Amino acid sequence: MISTIAFILTVQTAPKLPDARPEDVKSVDTIVAALYDVISGPAGKPRDWTRFKSLFSPKGTLAAVVKGKDGKPFLATMTPDSYATGNAPYFEMNSFFEKETKRKTMKAMDIVHVFSDYESRKAVEDKKPFESGTNAIQMYSDGTRWYIHSILWQGN
């Protein structure tokens, strides 16, 4: 325990993130719903990247397991900022609607891990998704709100 406390005291303070909407971060259910909502929309509809970033902890990360040209999986990591910057052009040109289809939640004290299966569609009314996969979302509560600390996903 002492080494954990000493470590915590030596960690540098991360930059402050935007304030979150209280309704987005009041529970595990609302933060997961906000995550899917903020990235979904028709082509040309600007996403609310401030809202997106506000869902994460100051040191939050995202990572996707993707296949390289050789067919081997590798990890592509990013920050909420780099995810927003990298995906804004795609969302400008393409409709993208992602929804949760199944969830498994594990909780220990103030830590929650959510396996959130998803389907992605180009239009809400599309019968078949163009991709499905799983988001592994780690989050914690500081007693006043929930924060996403990391998202690791893989689609097929």
Q: Give the residue from 56, 51, 43, 69 showing the smallest Cα distance to 14.
A: 56
Number of domains in the chain: 1
1 within some domain: no
| Mean pLDDT within 136-147 | 98
Mean pLDDT score across all residues of the chain: 92
CATH number at residue 46: 3.10.450.50
Is residue 11 domain-resident? no
Q: What are phi and psi of 48, to 5 degrees?
A: -85, 85
Q: How are strands ordered across the β-sheet holding 97-108?
A: 73-78, 56-67, 146-155, 131-141, 111-121, 97-108
Rounded to 5°, the CA angle 130-135-139 comes to 155
- Report if residue 3 sits inside a domain: no
Asked whether residue 70 is domain-assigned, the answer is yes
The fraction of the chain above a pLDDT of 70, given in percent, is 90
Separation CA 59–CA 44 (nearest Å) = 29
Could you read off the pLDDT of 5-26 as tens digits, one per residue?
555 555 555 667 899 999 999 9
The pLDDT score that the predictor gives to residue 11 is: 53
Closest CA to 52 of 79, 34, 30: 34
Q: Is there a domain that residue 63 lies in?
A: yes
What average pLDDT does range 51-64 have in this prediction? 97
Domain presence at residue 115:
yes
Q: Which domain holds residue 135?
A: 18-155
With respect to residue 133, please indicate whether it lies within any of the assigned structural domains: yes
| Residue 65 falls inside a structural domain | yes
The model carries a pTM of: 0.90
Q: How confident is the model at residue 148 (pLDDT cuts 50, 70, 90)?
A: very high
Predicted pLDDT at 17: 81
Taking CA atoms, 72 is separated from 46, 75, 127, 133, in Å, by 33, 10, 30, 17
Instruction: Give 86-126 pLDDT, tens digit per residue.
Output: 999 999 999 999 999 999 999 999 999 999 999 999 999 99
Q: What is the DSSP letter of 119?
A: E
| Residue 1: per-residue pLDDT | 47
